[in-house]
Amino acid sequence: MSGAVPEDAAPERLDRFMARANAAYYAARDPFADFATAPEIAQAFGELLGAWAAVTWQAMGSPEPVLLVEAGPGRGTLMADALRLIRRVAPAFAAALRLHLVEFSPRLRAIQAQALEGAVAGPITWHDELRSLPDGPLILIANEFLDALPIRQLVSTGDGWAERHVQAGGFVLQPAPPPPWPLAGRRAAPGEVVELCEPALAIMRWLAGRVTGVPGAALFLDYGPDRDCVGDTLQALRDGRPAEPLSDPGRADLTAHVDFPALRAVALAGGAAVHGPRGQGAFLSELGLFARTERLARGRPPKQARALLDAAHRLAAPDRMGRLFKAMAVCHPSLGVPSGFGMEDAA
């Protein structure tokens, strides 16, 4: 499938362009040749999230069965690492969980099936979107999923708003209504871009209803600011390097910063308890990233041990992925503070 459109095509709203480009990209290419995600950097990442899910399940009252869901599982590495740990340290959770994966790329579904062969006793069920998950208590994990969802970009013009559309590899502006709540209150100077990720907001609305009905908890890890944000954050990565986002749809991975404050506001308004966003470094450190890494490193040749510690540092250090990446949990209000969100961030 090609993401190309004829040069003389009508202007296409940015979110529609991005949806088409990413569907083509994930269907045809190996994203992990273009960027390294946390589970591909360190096995401790998936293991700690497996432990997080097991502890959360206990806090939920150990419901049986429980849906364990991952949205955007990529190569299946995170879930394979998580389930290996769960089978070892939380066999009752391993027996209770039903694995559901939300993935729209048939190519990645096949890779995930291979990575997770024998990892769960029952079947694995794939979905195109979260809404088709069956009812019941759920624990959801999503790493670098929200950043791939299509965004709209609205520009304040001084006497109204305009919206970015894509035409012939560049942006054109078309008049638009003002951005809706929760972005409406955000002050944008003339010419400044405000981004709106409607699918992510819809997921939060749906999730808030879902996790407040039956016991549930969802954990999102992604990159983006923890305060109100304005500005253009659309970016493209191709062959591991920044690329021009509009020029070659389907050939590069298109992402945008996740607007955590807006997602938080929507989930809270829906009645859910929200924890974070909190820096990934603080979150993972509280879950025991360094203790786990030291254990993995013990007895290994010095070069391997050093590589494991370097990987943990890359995930947690403020000047690497530790601060820009955030963790945010959306939970049933009676659940209490989930692990990883309990301690105050150091100044």
Is-contact 183 262, C-beta < 8 A?
A: yes
Q: Quick one: which of 112, 123, 121 has its CA closest to 70?
A: 112
CA distances from 1 to 27, 103, 336 (A): 8, 17, 46
Specify whether the CB–CB gap between 53 and 205 falls below 8 A: no
Under rule CB under 6 A, how many of the chain's residues touch ligand SAH? 21
Q: Which residue of 47, 51, 56, 74 would you call a contact of ligand SAH, by CB under 6 A?
A: 74
The contact mask relative to ligand SAH for 31-70 (x = CB under 6 A, - = no) is x-----xxxx------------------------------
**22 sits near ligand SAH (criterion: CB under 6 A):** yes
Contacts with ligand SAH, 77-116, as mask; x by CB under 6 A: -x-----------------------xxxx--x--------
CB of 129 to ligand SAH, least distance (A): 6
Minimum Å gap between C-beta 48 and ligand SAH is 13
**What b/e sequence results for 79-88 when a residue is b if at least 16 CB atoms lie within 10 Å of its CB, and e otherwise?**
bbbbbebbbe
Distance, CA of 220 to CA of 218 (rounded, Å): 7
CB of 277 to ligand SAH, least distance (A): 17
Among 34, 144, 163, 259, binds ligand SAH (CB under 6 A): 144
Residue 215 or 279 having the CB closest to ligand SAH: 279
**Number of neighbours of residue 92 by Cβ within 10 angstroms:** 13
Q: Confirm or reject binding of residue 153 to ligand SAH (CB under 6 A).
A: no
CB of 327 vs ligand SAH, minimal distance in Å: 13
What does the block give as tokens for 85? 């740990």
Residues 15, 17: Cα–Cα separation, whole Å: 5
- Rounded to whole angstroms, the Cα distance separating 165 from 12 reads 5
- Residues that bind ligand SAH in the complex, under the rule CB under 6 A: 22, 26, 31, 37-40, 72-74, 78, 102-105, 108, 143-145, 148-149
